[in-house]
Every structure is written in structure tokens, then in C-alpha cells.
């Protein structure tokens, strides 16, 4: 017979974190249905590992990492958004950093734009970014992960995360400018 108390222990452990987990999943996937499916995948995966969960000090970051890896596996499997789908460069081929194109005229509306409008703009640009770029920006700039934690999770150096963030923000800023011009 299945350990009848395992599910109860599991419930007690994970229930307080489910909504945070969902929010992270939502930010990664961009919609409620996929977010819920992803959290469900995590739950299915973790229930048999209940004893292991009980030994984890800080469970939410630990589960976030599991969720992220599942998200990544899924993306690899279905190849949702090809890398480089949105790579903006300047005319001379230099990716620039986006900020140097911000003239006072362009910055005025962006800097003073009301929150709702700016948020809609950012969301729409994020949605068009290649998956890897979107994911890193979501995790750092939206979800608030520290660069060191991201480096650890993605098994790259801190410098790599820093330089990727730098580049991906360039793309984001350039895309914002482009949207503003439309």
C-alpha cells in the first residue's frame, strides 16, 4: 500500500508555496494554463520525493529550481521559440546597447509613460523575445533572482549571466524603442 501519510506530509510541505510557484511559472510561460500545467508537473515529480523535501531548509527556491528545469526540458522538447527570432542591431551591425539610441525626444515619453501603458509595452516586447532572452530577463528583472543564483542554476559563471543580461536588455530596450516609434 502506498504510504498513506506521504501525501499528507507532502501537502503540508508544499501547499504554502503553491501560489508563489504558480506566479513563477506564470512569468516563465506567460499564461495561466501553461503555468498551472507546469506546477502540476512539479507536484507529480516531487510527491515521490517527499522525504527529500522534508530535509530541504528553504523549500521555495528549491522547488523553483525544479520548476525551472522542467520548464527548460519542456521548451527543449517542443522548441517553442527559436533563438534569435528577435535580434535587433544597428545599421552598422553593432548591437549597441539600446540606451545610446535613446534621444531626449524618445526618452521623454518612455520615462514619463504611465505605468499601465509602459507595462503593456514591456509585456508585449517580452513576449516577442527569444525564449532564452525572455527567460533570463523574467527571472532577473521580474522575478528578482540574484545573478549569483541564476549562475548557479544555469551552471555558468556570474560573468556570463552579467554579460547575457547586458545583451538581452539591449535587445529589450531596442525593441521598446521600436515599439514607441510605431
Catalog residues that contact other proteins under the rule CB under 8 A.
Answer: 1-2, 4-5, 7-8, 10-11, 14-15, 18-19, 22-23, 26-27, 29, 32-41, 43-44, 46-47, 74, 77-78, 97, 99-100, 102-104, 107-108, 110-111, 113, 115, 118-119, 122-123, 137, 141-142, 144, 147, 162, 165-166, 169, 172-173, 176
CB of 129 closer than 8 Å to CB of 171: yes
Residue 34 or 61: which CB sits closer to other proteins?
A: 34
- State the minimum distance, in angstroms, from the CB of residue 77 to other proteins: 8
Residue 81 or 173: which CB sits closer to other proteins?
A: 173
Q: How far apart are CA 122 and CA 176, in angstroms?
A: 7
Residue 86 or 176: which CB sits closer to other proteins?
A: 176
Look at the alpha carbons of 156, 162, 165, 167 in this order and tell me if their dihedral is positive or negative: negative
- State the minimum distance, in angstroms, from the CB of residue 164 to other proteins: 11
CB of 95 closer than 8 Å to CB of 167: yes
Helix (H, G, I), strand (E, B) or coil at 38: helix
Q: How far apart are CA 125 and CA 123, in angstroms?
A: 5
- State the minimum distance, in angstroms, from the CB of residue 118 to other proteins: 5
CB of 177 closer than 8 Å to CB of 101: yes
- State the minimum distance, in angstroms, from the CB of residue 132 to other proteins: 17
- State the minimum distance, in angstroms, from the CB of residue 26 to other proteins: 5
Residue 53 or 154: which CB sits closer to other proteins?
A: 53
- State the minimum distance, in angstroms, from the CB of residue 106 to other proteins: 8
Q: How far apart are CA 148 and CA 135, in angstroms?
A: 16
Residue 65 or 109: which CB sits closer to other proteins?
A: 109
Grid coordinates representing 75? 521548451
Residue 37 or 149: which CB sits closer to other proteins?
A: 37
CB of 27 closer than 8 Å to CB of 142: yes
Number of neighbouring beta carbons within 10 Å of residue 138: 19
Number of neighbouring beta carbons within 10 Å of residue 137: 21
Amino acid at each position: 500500500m502506498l504510504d498513506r501519510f506521504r501525501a499528507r506530509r507532502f501537502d503540508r510541505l508544499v501547499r504554502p508555496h503553491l501560489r508563489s510557484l504558480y506566479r513563477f511559472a506564470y512569468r516563465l510561460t506567460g499564461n495561466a494554463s501553461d503555468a498551472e500545467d507546469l506546477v502540476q508537473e512539479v507536484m507529480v515529480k516531487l510527491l515521490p520525493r517527499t522525504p527529500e523535501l522534508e530535509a530541504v531548509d528553504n523549500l521555495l527556491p528549491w522547488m523553483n529550481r525544479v520548476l525551472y528545469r522542467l520548464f527548460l526540458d519542456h521548451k527543449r522538447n517542443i522548441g517553442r521559440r527559436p533563438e534569435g527570432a528577435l535580434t535587433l542591431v544597428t545599421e552598422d551591425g553593432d548591437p549597441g546597447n539600446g540606451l545610446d539610441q535613446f534621444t531626449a525626444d524618445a526618452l521623454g515619453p518612455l520615462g514619463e509613460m504611465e505605468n499601465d501603458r509602459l507595462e503593456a509595452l514591456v509585456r508585449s516586447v517580452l513576449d516577442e523575445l527569444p525564449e532564452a532572452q525572455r527567460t533570463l530577463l523574467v527571472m532577473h528583472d521580474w522575478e528578482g533572482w540574484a545573478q549569483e543564483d541564476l549562475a548557479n542554476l544555469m551552471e555558468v559563471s556570474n560573468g556570463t549571466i552579467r554579460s547575457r543580461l547586458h545583451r538581452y536588455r539591449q535587445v529589450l530596450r531596442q525593441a521598446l524603442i521600436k515599439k514607441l516609434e510605431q
